[in-house]
Chain A
Amino acid sequence: MDVLLAILTLFGLYGLTTLGMAVIFAATRVVNLAQGDLIMVGAYTAAVLTGPAFGWRVTLALVASAPLLLLIERLLLRRPLADGLATMLVTWGVGMALRQAAELWFTSTSRSVDAPVGGTVTVLGTPYPAYRLVCGLIAVAVIGLVLLAAYRTDWGLTLRAVADNPAMAALLGTDPRRLRTIAFILGGLLAVLAGALYSPLLAVNPTMGFGLLVPVFFGLLLSRPGALGTAAGAALAIAALSVLLRTWLTDVLAEVFFYLIVVAVAALRSRPWIRRYMSWLTRVRVPARAS
């Protein structure tokens, strides 16, 4: 049970961030390298605004970040969008600017945030810190809502259409620019939410998001572009792999095996016969679902 709860908590953090990145990638074909730094923005908002209750701080983090994300998208990401690599570098620059700004305003000394819910709860006989459970559950609920929106709403249909074929989607009347703006804001907000929500578990400092990028990238690497469900699934697999390895092995060995396994899976997936087999699976499933 312990292990399942640990996976839930870690999946919440990885899942929100990976899903956010996947939403942005689906709509814009841009890997948002500032995603980790948006986690930092959320965490600092929760750490600095000590007055309001924790729930309000999380809400404030989201409300304050939305215009910032809009500005970043409108001012910096519109022009170089034709070139994916250039845009990726722009997001890298945005991340650096956010880190430096945080260092300038708050120094690089780590801060901590008190958990709004203290104590432990017993889940099927296993005592577990209450707040870890709460933030894991909230994160999973948000991930579920985003997936629901992606697969059961018009907006989600448009997003998937743009992800699949932007030119065709534009010809059929979708405004890809508007969609990209919304996707960037939504994707960024998921990272901000992850940062604010998980701030009581982490050390809040300007570089805190940087280390979280690696598992998130692996999650994105293992998912299919545009298929948000696979991004959430990949994040779950990454969280489970990390927790299980660290339960069975020492942290140092677990890290080695973690990288080995993820790289091996990524390499195997790109083999032509496995790729073909996976595409057959997808083709068989689509008409079955439609019927």
Chain B
Amino acid sequence: MAHTRSRAGTGILTAAALLVVTGCGGSAISDTGSDSDGPLKIGLIVPLTGPVSSTGKALRNAFELGVEKVNEDGGVNGADVEFVVVDDGGDPATSTQLARRLVQREKVSMLFGTITGDTAEAVTKVADDAKVPFGTAILGDTGQCHPYAWGFGESTRQLLTPTIPALLEKYGKRVAVVGSDYNFPHYYLRVAKEQVKRAGGSVVAEEFSPIGQTDWQPVIKRLKAAKPDVLLAMVVGSDAVSFSQQAKQFGLLSPQLGYDGAPLDSDYYPALNALVNGRTHTVRWTDRLDDPDSRAFVADYRKAYKFKGPMPEVAGNAYFGIQFFLAAAEKAESADGEAINTEIGRLTFDSPLGENTRFAAANHILQADMFQATIKPGGAYEVSRELGRVADTTPMPGCS
């Protein structure tokens, strides 16, 4: 009797463990457009639920305002632009399914969105197969180029080229890198190594940890033992918060240590404020940018969504990025994805992201401006230095 019960108990436990290990993916579709062939239709794939949903929602909000602005100015080819928003929950399998559904059933002419690198990669494959352009707004790339994928966030090189020499000059030459264990942080380390070497420094420690880490003590101990002058952290999501907090508690994160990376993004400011105040951070866009279009967007966003904190960079990239895409569609004079894609590659566009911004043919990286922001108490990411156009034309496999 005891044997049977214990076996049943083990069965239930195993089922429970499996349920938790495999997670619970979900998707939802909310249609705000129509399925007629006439007007241009965009499919927006964002995580509205799950661990990165706050960034996903910021992207969606800014995207909606961007489309609204284009429609107020007359739409594209004389008709209002429509869009469909879907929630991938940050799960790449769901992203693939939804992207296919948007292309096949909703007949969208372009795709936009995603936050994490794995979901972007999933949608990229569908976009390449379906020959529809796909735009992302999040920073960083993984060193791969795809014919139909275009990123409005800064590339890894655009991010690190101005950051590393400045940090090395101010804090010292020994650099440690810590990251979440997925494709983008690994590529970030590769580029960081190149840049550190060029600036005369050395990478003294490199650590990767699976996403969702609770206890950072072993990682922090190893980083501390390497005695770094600068710490580059590409730990994302809630790990950015728990890592920074624990690094502070273990005495690693001191004012003498240079610190930059994802935890300094404005997304995490509400949780990390005291830890990042006074530090500098390299960005493509901040809500404190002194530009009339940017200021108008910030005011609209804050009013429309009753948002008070520092606005995530992804919002600015998405707002001006979708306008870039729609300008290309206007030029293509067609809702055909392939025609729009060709125009995206040719277009030069003025926005607060830079004058005459355009994509480099060799890597599909947006050649745009960068800024150094100083984080002030209260979450103001004030522009402390205009870095101008930071070029990244390094050829990448897939396009060059």
Contacts and interface: CB of A to CB of B under 8 A. Distances in A.
A263 to B, nearest CB: 10
A29 B217 contact: no
Interface stretch (B103-111, B204-212, B226-234, B329-337): B204-212
A6 B54 contact: no
Interface in A82-115: 84-85, 88, 92, 96, 103, 107-112, 115
Contact of B238 (A107, A132, A203, A250): A203
A46 to B, nearest CB: 13
B16 A88 contact: yes
Interface in B1-29: 2-3, 5-6, 8-10, 12-17, 19-21, 24
Given A9-B217, A251-B208, A109 B20 contact: no
B214 interface: yes
Contact of A6 (B52, B208, B217, B239): B217
Nearest to A205: B238
Most central of A115, A131, A201, A204 by chain B CB within 10 Å: A201
Interface string A252-286: 10010000000000100010000100000000000
Interface in B235-256: 237-242, 245-246, 249-251
Interface in A214-259: 214, 217-218, 220-221, 224-225, 242-243, 246-247, 250-252, 255
Interface in A184-229: 200-205, 207-208, 210-214, 217-218, 220-221, 224-225
Nearest to B239: A203
Interface in B275-294: none
B251 A120 contact: yes
B142 interface: no
B221 interface: yes
A144 interface: no
A182 interface: no
Nearest to B1: A165
B241 A221 contact: no
Nearest to B49: A103
A233 B47 CA distance: 39
A221 B21 CA distance: 14
B371 interface: no
A255 B211 CA distance: 11
B21 A110 contact: no
B380 interface: no
A85 B241 contact: no
Interface string A22-33: 000100010101
A107 B6 CA distance: 41
B238 A208 contact: yes
Given A85-B12, A201-B245, A217-B13, A252 B181 contact: yes
A281 to B, nearest CB: 15
B271 interface: yes
A10 interface: yes
Contacts of B260: none
Contacts of A115: 249
A175 interface: no
Nearest to B26: A96
Given A203-B242, A214-B17, A29 B9 contact: yes
Given A110-B241, A111-B270, A115-B249, A221 B13 contact: yes
Contacts of A131: 249
A110 B53 contact: no
A13 interface: yes
Contacts of B19: 33, 92
Contacts of A2: 217, 221
Contacts of B251: 120, 127
A221 B250 CA distance: 33
B267 interface: yes
B5 A225 contact: yes
Contacts of A107: 54
Contacts of B350: none
Given A109-B271, A208-B238, A251-B219, A221 B245 contact: no
Residue of A109, A164, A225, A252 contacting most chain B CB atoms (<10 Å) = A109
Contacts of B209: 251-252
Interface of B: 2-3, 5-6, 8-10, 12-17, 19-21, 24, 49-54, 181, 207-210, 212-215, 217-219, 221, 237-242, 245-246, 249-251, 267-268, 270-272
30 contacts: A6-B217, A10-B215, A25-B9, A33-B20, A92-B19, A96-B24, A108-B54, A109-B54, A111-B270, A127-B251, A131-B249, A164-B2, A201-B246, A202-B214, A203-B238, A203-B242, A214-B21, A217-B13, A220-B13, A221-B13, A221-B17, A225-B6, A246-B218, A250-B208, A251-B207, A251-B208, A251-B219, A252-B181, A252-B210, A266-B14
Given A112-B241, A243-B217, 18 more contacts: A10-B214, A10-B215, A29-B12, A110-B270, A111-B241, A115-B249, A201-B242, A201-B246, A203-B241, A203-B271, A205-B51, A205-B238, A212-B214, A214-B20, A220-B13, A242-B215, A246-B219, A251-B181
